Amino acid sequence: MLGKYITNVRSSVPLVHNITNYVTVNDVANVLLACGGSPIMSDEPDDVADITSICGGLNINIGTLNKSSIEGMFVAGRKANELGHVTLLDPVGAGASALRTNTAVKLMDEIDFTVIRGNISEIKTLAMGSGTTKGVDADVADAVTEDSLDEAVSFVKELAEKTGSVIAITGAIDLVADKDRCFVIRNGRPEMGKITGTGCQLSGMMTAFLVANPDSPLEAAAAAVCTMGLAGEIGWDNMKEGDGNSTYRNRIIDAIFNMDEETLDKGAKYEIK
Amino acid sequence: MLGKYITNVRSSVPLVHNITNYVTVNDVANVLLACGGSPIMSDEPDDVADITSICGGLNINIGTLNKSSIEGMFVAGRKANELGHVTLLDPVGAGASALRTNTAVKLMDEIDFTVIRGNISEIKTLAMGSGTTKGVDADVADAVTEDSLDEAVSFVKELAEKTGSVIAITGAIDLVADKDRCFVIRNGRPEMGKITGTGCQLSGMMTAFLVANPDSPLEAAAAAVCTMGLAGEIGWDNMKEGDGNSTYRNRIIDAIFNMDEETLDKGAKYEIK
Amino acid sequence: MLGKYITNVRSSVPLVHNITNYVTVNDVANVLLACGGSPIMSDEPDDVADITSICGGLNINIGTLNKSSIEGMFVAGRKANELGHVTLLDPVGAGASALRTNTAVKLMDEIDFTVIRGNISEIKTLAMGSGTTKGVDADVADAVTEDSLDEAVSFVKELAEKTGSVIAITGAIDLVADKDRCFVIRNGRPEMGKITGTGCQLSGMMTAFLVANPDSPLEAAAAAVCTMGLAGEIGWDNMKEGDGNSTYRNRIIDAIFNMDEETLDKGAKYEIK
């Protein structure tokens, strides 16, 4: 039962340092508040070490990276590792540009990440691109479907073993795995893809779950994925005639705000492979 | 009938690269998703050429320009021109500062834009400031009204001829023109001015319309203007007691999400001069 | 009666230059529009002097400062002082990092601020850190409560005298003081803390109130605090089952959009000490 992991977030109010893109940053902040955490944003290299030091976790999202923020990612990541903080990498757009791919790969090489979370295309790019993960068979399908599920589960477990990170691949079916176990999660709605930044929001929230549940990173990451997906379902049920993606955005964050242990326990749809 | 131009957006899901200001960027992304497009944001000079290459169109908005993003605008613009991609310039604040005016004029001089979209004040600044447009009579009124309409139509057609771009001037009455024809559009609500960024949103959405309708830039731009204005009307009709500009913002994006060919055909209010 | 101060905003539509963080900037813009003002954002050092020159006031918020925007803050602040414009400092995160503390203190040393607005922790940091304020007893409690009220009132008046600025400390009880008088304000809802950026929004709106009421900075600042808090109360009353912090954000801005003189006069809860 994954409900207790959100209860732990609400009772401990984890402070999360986010180096994240300017497109979805406001939603990331409000989702962190909605789930019971507390957000701080800072990307200036001269500021990030101090900020990360007072937080419990670091969420690095490369969505609108620039030369200065890239430097900030490395400074903050090293400091977070030094302090034993939880760290998460969201490699937005890895594979779409050389700078994004190289930055994500270099971050994986130099920083220990508790979790790496992306879509299948981004994660495959990292699996192929990183020296650390040499030898991982990234020749999986470009979408996780019932047909490609077993193959994808093997891929994500192998990548988790090579990297030492929990790997979370989100899509129609979500996979969250360490080397031994993979949560296969079937929460969510396809309409969530019509809102910008549900992935970024999930990465921020997941970091709070990881901070609040330091002994169970795999379960905490899976609980965050179920929370996001279930909020997408609840939010959709609350849509009225004339509503669209902007209202849906609000409805999802509202549903996270109102999510409790019992709702999550009842609504989470997953199996462990 | 302009409805088919949004149908073409929904069926082709154009990917649009946005170099846009951080004030309204989230709304730009959600509007692009609402109309059937797909947004990517990137302003780092070392990232933009790759990103623009995988997109169908480029939307340059100078709203919160800085030295680095200005460089990104030129790099991306040149690459988009080289690839024959659709390009749009939104000269936010041209006339309000030397840096904005000079950047917009230099962009017009060095990059071929499919469309230039701004308010009358910004467009007049560009008409006076740019060598390309020397000789255009920018001595038109500071607002497009029924009284100044003929004069404004002549101005916008002449500017379109000199620049080789479709020119879109938005305000109480919107004008979208090439050298021969000018769409005079009377959709919209004055209350849209109480929301930040409806112009930025329109520029993002218009780029998607241009990508999806490569043979009809004038009609595509006019259809985007009608879609935005009509969404403003529908959104306003959906307002309830106690609602204000924040809810109105959501209602407009929701109306774009729900806009279909028939609604647009029925609701678009325009004449061609 | 503080209601007339928002009427003055609505009748004069003050233009406010904001150098503010990218987390909450969209909400700051929409709140400025909601209260009757008009926002412009610019942080590029080469752009800010021109932009601030055409505005009536300058709002500096250090929330996601970087090397370039810090330079912009000083350039804009000096220009605003030179022109006799209203200036406001929101020292977000002062005390959380050396860069933030030092930047805020240096801004206070070099720029004359009409108002400095922050939470008790940030304001205490500035009181201790600034040479200007040497000798101020910052040994007050970390929250303004009924028990610590008298002590806090003395502190804020003394800091106002030393700095020459109106000081606004917001929290469960808000204090807005010059050297002689302190408005003790009891509007607001604790749930406002579950939305990102209500403080940033207040700083933007307060700057508009200051521009529109040049002869009464203390009353204007207090009126802005009451407006925000009262909007938080009205917005909360408009919440329905299933609503959460994202909808609450919209409801608060909507309530500001609908706020009039009579509502503010009736709803403002304050005493002067």
Say if strands B270-272 and B182-185 run parallel, antiparallel, or are unpaired.
antiparallel
Over residues B96-123, mean pLDDT? 97
Write down the number of H helices and E strands in chain B: 11, 9
Q: In percent, how much of chain A has pLDDT > 90?
A: 92
Using CA coordinates, name the residue in chain C closest to A19: C64
The whole-number pLDDT of residue B132 equals 47
* CA-CA-CA-CA dihedral for A186, A189, A194, A196, to nearest 10: -50
pLDDT at residue C130 above 90? Answer: no
CB-based contact A196 B40, cutoff 8 Å: no
Cβ atoms of C180 and C8 within 8 Å: the answer is no
Q: pLDDT band for A132, please (50, 70, 90 cuts).
A: very low
The whole-number pLDDT of residue C141 equals 73
Judging contacts by C-beta atoms under 8 Å, the chain A residues touching residue C244 are 34, 253-258
Strand partners, B61: B90
pLDDT at residue B136 above 80? Answer: no
Residue B55 C-alpha, separation from nearest chain A C-alpha, in angstroms? 10
Q: How far apart are CA B122 and CA B193, in angstroms?
A: 16
pLDDT at residue B131 above 80? Answer: no
Q: How far apart are CA A46 and CA B224, in angstroms?
A: 43
Over residues A222-244, mean pLDDT? 97
Strands (E), A103-155: 115-118
pLDDT at residue A139 above 90? Answer: no
The whole-number pLDDT of residue A133 equals 42
Over residues C101-128, mean pLDDT? 96
Contacts of A193 (CB under 8 A, 6+ apart): none
Residues C3-25: tens digit of each pLDDT: 999 999 999 999 999 999 999 99
Q: pLDDT band for A129, please (50, 70, 90 cuts).
A: confident
Judging contacts by C-beta atoms under 8 Å, the chain A residues touching residue B22 are 22
CB-based contact B245 C29, cutoff 8 Å: no
Residues B195-237: tens digit of each pLDDT: 999 999 999 999 999 999 999 999 999 999 999 999 999 999 9
Using CA coordinates, name the residue in chain A closest to C25: A26
CB-based contact A246 B258, cutoff 8 Å: no
Q: How far apart are CA C223 and CA C36, in angstroms?
A: 14
Residues A39-74: tens digit of each pLDDT: 999 999 999 999 999 999 999 999 999 999 999 999
Q: What is the mean pLDDT of chain A?
A: 95
Cβ atoms of B45 and B85 within 8 Å: the answer is no
Among the partner residues B29, B54, B257, nearest to A244 by beta-carbon distance: B257
Judging contacts by C-beta atoms under 8 Å, the chain C residues touching residue B22 are 22, 25, 41
- Which domains are delineated in chain C? 3-272 (3.40.1190.20)
The three-state secondary structure class of B184 is strand
Q: How far apart are CA C208 and CA C22, in angstroms?
A: 20
**Stated length of chain A:** 273
Residue B42 C-alpha, separation from nearest chain A C-alpha, in angstroms? 5
CB-based contact A33 C197, cutoff 8 Å: no
Q: What global pTM score does this model have? A: 0.96
Residue A118 phi/psi, 5-degree rounding, is -160, -175
In three state form, how does the secondary structure of B140-180 look? Answer: CCCCCCCCCHHHHHHHHHHHHHHHCCEEEECCCCEEEECCC
Q: How far apart are CA C178 and CA B144, in angstroms?
A: 47
CB-based contact C244 A50, cutoff 8 Å: no
Using CA coordinates, name the residue in chain A closest to C27: A26
Cβ atoms of A44 and C70 within 8 Å: the answer is no
Over residues B42-71, mean pLDDT? 98
Structure token pair of residue A22: 């300017």
Residue A138 C-alpha, separation from nearest chain C C-alpha, in angstroms? 36
Q: Which amino acid is at A40?
A: I
Judging contacts by C-beta atoms under 8 Å, the chain B residues touching residue A93 are 40, 42, 51
CB-based contact C41 B63, cutoff 8 Å: yes
Find, among A187, A193, A190, A116, the residue nearest to A156 by Cα: A116
Say which residue, B133 or A86, is predicted with more confidence: A86
Structure token pair of residue C97: 């990092």
Q: How far apart are CA C270 and CA C174, in angstroms?
A: 9
Q: How far apart are CA C261 and CA B176, in angstroms?
A: 41
Structure token pair of residue A114: 């508790």
Following DSSP, what letter does each residue of A80-91 receive, concatenated?
Answer: HHHTT-EEEEE-
Q: Is the dihedral of CA A6, A8, A10, A15 positive or negative?
A: negative
Using CA coordinates, name the residue in chain A closest to B42: A64
Q: Which amino acid is at B23?
A: V
Q: What is the mean pLDDT of chain C?
A: 95
Residue B258 CA neighbour count, 13 Å, CB half: 21
Among the partner residues A41, A46, A238, nearest to C23 by beta-carbon distance: A41
Residues B16-37: tens digit of each pLDDT: 999 999 999 999 999 999 999 9
The whole-number pLDDT of residue B141 equals 73
Over residues A11-33, mean pLDDT? 98
The whole-number pLDDT of residue C139 equals 65
Q: How far apart are CA B190 and CA B172, in angstroms?
A: 7
Residue C32 C-alpha, separation from nearest chain A C-alpha, in angstroms? 17
